[in-house]
Amino acid sequence: MGVEEEYLLLDPVTGLPVARAAEVRRAADLQDALAAGEVQRELLQAQLEIATPVCRTLDEVGGHLLRMRHSLDIAARETGCRLAACGAAPFNWRRPVPVTPTARYRAMHSRAPRLTDEQLIAGMHIHVGVPGRQAGVVVLNRLRPWLPLLVALAANSPMWQGQDSGFASWRTLVFGRWPASGAPPSFADAADYRHRVDELVAGGLIPDTGQVYWHIRLSERYPTVEVRAADVQLRADEAVMLAGAVRALATRALADEREHRPAPDVRPEVLSAALWHAARYGTANTVFDPRAGRLVPAAEAVDTLLTIIEDASAADRRHTAPLLERLLREGNGATRQRRALRLGGRARLLRMITDWTGGA
C-alpha cells in the first residue's frame, strides 16, 4: 500500500495561500531525509504533494509520513511560509493563486478557469495493492457503500474564504464539481471499467484518464485501488488510521467475494445523498451505515466498521481501532478546527493546521 498527501502553503502571519511551491521544492531537495521525486508539484503554486514508497505495514506508512511531513515543513519554513495539513484554505485570498506552469495545468485552467482558481484544497489518496484489475473492480464495487463513512471520518475542511462553510468537508463539495467525480458507478468487470473510462475520454468529456476524479478508482500507474475520498489529515496517525481502515475494507471485500457473501446494495441516488450528508455533518451528527441502509449515530457506524477491522492483523488493529475511538471522543479535524477557532480565533486555528510536526 501507499499514501499520497497534499498540503497547502500559507503565510505564517495572515494564513493566506502563498505561491511558493517551486521555492519549497528546491529547499526540500536539500533535505537529506527526502528522496528524489517524493515531493511533487500540484495544480496551483500554493500546493505540494508527497507520496510514500510502497509499504507493507502501517508502521512503514506512519514512519514515511512523519519523515516527509517534518522535512517538508522545514523546507517551507526556510522559504518563509508554513505547510498546512487542512483540506481547504481557510482564509480569504485576495487574488487567484497562479497555476503551476505545465501544459496540462494550463489546459485545465483554460477549460475551467473559476473552478481551477478555487482548487485550494488538499486531499489524501490511499493506494491498496490488488492481485489484478478484476480483483480491483471487486474491491471498488464493494467499497463504494463505505465512501460516506470514510468522508465523514476524514472531514477536515470546514473553513472557506474566512468563513465557516457549514460543511465538515467543504473540499468534497469543491472537488465534486469536476465532470467525472463523486462516487463511481458499479462495474460488471475489469473490461467494463476500461470501456467506460475510455468512453469518457474518447467522447471528449474528459481530456485523459488522469481526470477520472471518482472517490475510488483503479490506478492507471500502479496495481492498486486508489481511494481519494479523504481530506488530508491534521495528524499523521489519523492518516495511518484511515489507511488501515481502507485496507481492512479491501481485504474483507476480497474475502466476501471468494465466499460469495453479498455486498450492501446501495442505490446510486442513496449513495450520492449519503456522501452529501457526510460532507455536511462529518461525525458530529448521523452517518450512513451501508449495512443498515440508513443514517445512524456516528458511534454506531464506527462500531460497524470496527467489526470489519477485527478481522485485520493485530498490527493493523493497533493503528485503527484505538484511533477511531479517539476520533469519536475528540472529534475529527473539522470539529477540532472549529473548536480552535472558537477558543482562540484565527491565530489559534492557524497554529493548529500548521503545527502538526510533533507526529502521531
Mean pLDDT of all residues in the chain? 95
pLDDT digits (tens, 9 = 90+) for 227-249: 999 999 999 999 999 999 999 99
Q: How many residues in the chain?
A: 360
Q: Give the pTM.
A: 0.96
DSSP string, 80-102: T-EEE-SSB--S--SSPPPBPSS
Q: What is the pLDDT of residue 359?
A: 39
Band (pLDDT 50/70/90 cuts) for residue 355 is confident
CA distance 299 to 295: 11
Amino acid at 278: A
From 231, 238, 233, 230, select the one nearest 360 (Cα to Cα): 238
Q: At 237, which CATH number?
A: 3.30.590.20
In a domain, 355, yes or no: no
Q: What is the pLDDT of residue 312?
A: 76
Say whether pLDDT at 269 is over 50: yes
pLDDT digits (tens, 9 = 90+) for 204-231: 999 999 999 999 999 999 999 999 999 9
In a domain, 97, yes or no: yes
Band (pLDDT 50/70/90 cuts) for residue 356 is low
CA distance 260 to 84: 44
| Mean pLDDT in residue range 31-55 | 94
In a domain, 352, yes or no: no
In a domain, 313, yes or no: yes
- Domains held by the chain: number: 1
In a domain, 353, yes or no: no
pLDDT digits (tens, 9 = 90+) for 86-114: 999 999 877 899 999 999 999 999 999 99
In a domain, 34, yes or no: yes
In a domain, 324, yes or no: yes
- What is the domain range of residue 142? 2-344
In a domain, 358, yes or no: no
